[in-house]
Amino acid sequence: MSQEKPTKEIQCESCGNTFLGEAVVSMLGSPPREWWPWECPTCEEKHKLEVERGHQEYLVQARPEERKLMAAAEWGCPMV
Ligand SMILES: [Zn+2]
């Protein structure tokens, strides 16, 4: 009754560890397509965090840049 999900041992492209990956099967179209993960869940999680952190870093970086511009405007204020 229950559909068996195809699983196989996959070598993680990031850390090289082998892990049991579960394919995502699309039943749309024929033949059905299978997508296999290329990273172990640990690396996947790590990348997700990196993306989030990268976004935050971008936001943090934008602020000093603004500050620099403000400082430049102050310093560049003509004294004549
Ligand atoms: Zn990995």
Distance 12 CA to ligand 1 centre (A): 5
pLDDT for the residue numbered 68: 79
Distance 69 CA to ligand 1 centre (A): 42
Domain extent, residue 70, equals 7-74
Q: Is the peptide bond before 32 cis (omega within 30 degrees of 0)?
A: no
Q: Which long-range contacts (CB under 8 A, 24 or more apart) does 30-36 make?
A: 34/6, 36/8, 36/10
pLDDT for the residue numbered 45: 95
Distance 30 CA to ligand 1 centre (A): 31
CA atoms within 13 A on the CB side of 49: 6
Partner residues linked to 26 by β-bridges: 33
Q: Which tokens belong to 64?
A: 């000093």
pLDDT for the residue numbered 77: 59
Please indicate, yes or no, if residue 67 is contained in any of the structural domains: yes
Please indicate, yes or no, if residue 33 is contained in any of the structural domains: yes
Per-residue pLDDT of the chain (80 residues; tens, 9 = 90+): 556 788 999 999 999 999 999 998 888 888 888 889 999 999 999 999 999 999 888 777 777 777 778 777 877 755 55
39 φ/ψ angles, rounded to the nearest 5 degrees = -130, 150
Please indicate, yes or no, if residue 79 is contained in any of the structural domains: no
Distance 51 CA to ligand 1 centre (A): 16
Domain tally, the chain? 1
Distance 44 CA to ligand 1 centre (A): 7
